[in-house]
Amino acid sequence: MTQDEVVIRSRRTVLPEGERPAAVSVRAGRITAVSPYDTAASVDLGDVALLPGLVDTHVHINEPGRTEWEGFATATRAAAAGGVTTLIDMPLNSRPPTVDPAALAAKRAAAEGACAVDVGFWGGAVPGNAPSLRPLHDLGVFGFKCFTSDSGVPEFPPLEPAGMRAAFREIASFGGLVVVHAEDPASLSPPSGGDYAAFLASRPPSAERRAVEQVVRLAEETGARAHILHLSAADCLDVLAEAQADGLPVTAETCPHYLTLCDGDAGTAAFKCCPPIRDAANRDRLWQGLASGVISCVVTDHSPCTPDLKRGDFATAWGGISSLQLGLPAVWTAARARGHDLASVVRWMSEAPAALAAVPRKGGIAPGNDADLVAFAPDEPFTVDPASLHHRHPVTPYEGRTLTGVVQATWLRGARVGGAPAGRLLTRPEAR
């Protein structure tokens, strides 16, 4: 080692080619080498695994405008505690939403100096903002989110079919990425009661399938790259598999709650999200879609709110799940029970999300990448205590559950997270 070099080694280092004993050398915030395990080390983790920092491309931070729901300081502390070193903030539920350059500037001003991890931004595609899409792209947003149905907040309305087509064409013209909340509004209905069964029936799998079919048609027609957000309904997998086999640029993600929970778990409104958590058989099929590669990413869709908005029944409560700090152990607990290894979890939660959004120098332990690293004890169980969570309001459907896998340390560009906020605000590398 040189004087300004740090070497971290583990017998369970998860590299792009798989897990093996290795030592990772870091200088000036970048990984400079991956060497044999017997290399002299500054930090020896032994059998504690060394992972690349996770990349979560689906996080609602809500600041400015709804900072009482969540904010950059609290969300990024929770991210670091959960092994997430890069996140991309959704363009809602902040006010103003990130639908024009002025709103992006407000987002960046609110985030500057407050972030414990690196943060990038999605733009939004809403009715009437087509002239702002290219300027937002030029300013470095990683893509554009749109809704096919009501978003839940009035300042971010959905796109009608004609507006969707126009947005896809415009975004395709500059090679951008469209990420879609895909539920067909004509297939949704108000819940007939306040229990979970009524809520689930109000948002059937057919709503997702019809909207996914619409996205596939638009991707074929316009050439735009499209990504399906928070896939809940396994009935969509054959549509996506066929599109991918035909070479269409359509990908999909799912979330920890769809992979680890089912309708029978739903006790309080902490479980409510849109699209909804479905039955155990559906959950099994989502795992099959993930294993086959039809689903490429697992991201949290961390969507918090104030506790009072979660005190209603399933018809009236806010639909969103807070899991930013718990995504890695939740997914690992379920994955290992199904025979998946840590390398697969890293691929789903770090490598693939980084590739989806083309976040530079993230997503893997490799020379030249940022030294974003996580010490993860994969065999250590713990019981979820809301008091230990760092997001603004300790509401979570995982309360009281026993999960396996503890994040012991997180490094951002080679520096251990825990002091003054050192996160950077990210843009696409080719942005102006």
Q: How many CA atoms lie within 13 A of 87 on its CB side?
A: 30
For all residues of the chain together, what is the average pLDDT?
97
26 token code pair: 């870091």
| pLDDT reading at 29 higher than 70 | yes
> How long, in residues, is the chain?
432
Backbone angles phi, psi at 327, to 5 degrees: -60, -45
Using alpha carbons only, how large is the chain's radius of gyration in Å?
20
For 63, 227, 296, 326, 407, the CA distances from 404, given in Å and listed in that order, are 32, 30, 23, 10, 10
Residues 6+ apart with CB under 8 A from 361: 30, 368, 369, 370
Residue from 348, 398, 270 nearest 55 by CA = 348
Per-residue tokens: 281: 């058989």
Superfamily of domain 53-362+392-400: Metal-dependent hydrolases (3.20.20.140)
Half-sphere exposure of 189 (CA within 13 A, CB side): 11
3-state DSSP percent of the chain in helix, strand and coil, to 5 = 35, 25, 45
How far apart CA 33 and CA 366 sit, in angstroms, is 7
Proportion of the chain above pLDDT 90, given as a percent: 97
Asked if pLDDT for residue 1 goes beyond 80, the answer is no
- Give tens-digit pLDDT for 320-379: 999 999 999 999 999 999 999 999 999 999 999 999 999 999 999 999 999 999 999 999
**What mean pLDDT do residues 262-273 have?**
94
Looking only at Cα atoms, what is the longest distance across the chain?
Answer: 67
**Residue 3: what pLDDT?**
62
pLDDT tens-digit map of 161-202: 999 999 999 999 999 999 999 999 999 999 999 999 999 999
Give pLDDT, residue 312.
86
Question: Residue 432: pLDDT above 80?
Answer: no
Asked if the model's pLDDT at residue 136 lies above 70, the reply is yes
**Alpha-carbon distance 430 to 68, whole Å?**
34
* Token couple for 38: 């017997």
Q: How far is it, in rounded angstroms, from Cα 185 to Cα 134?
A: 28
d(CA 284, CA 279): 9
Amino acid identity of residue 217, one-letter, is: R
- For 198-251, the pLDDT digits (tens) are 999 999 999 999 999 999 999 999 999 999 999 999 999 999 999 999 999 999
Domain parsing of the chain, residue ranges: 53-362+392-400
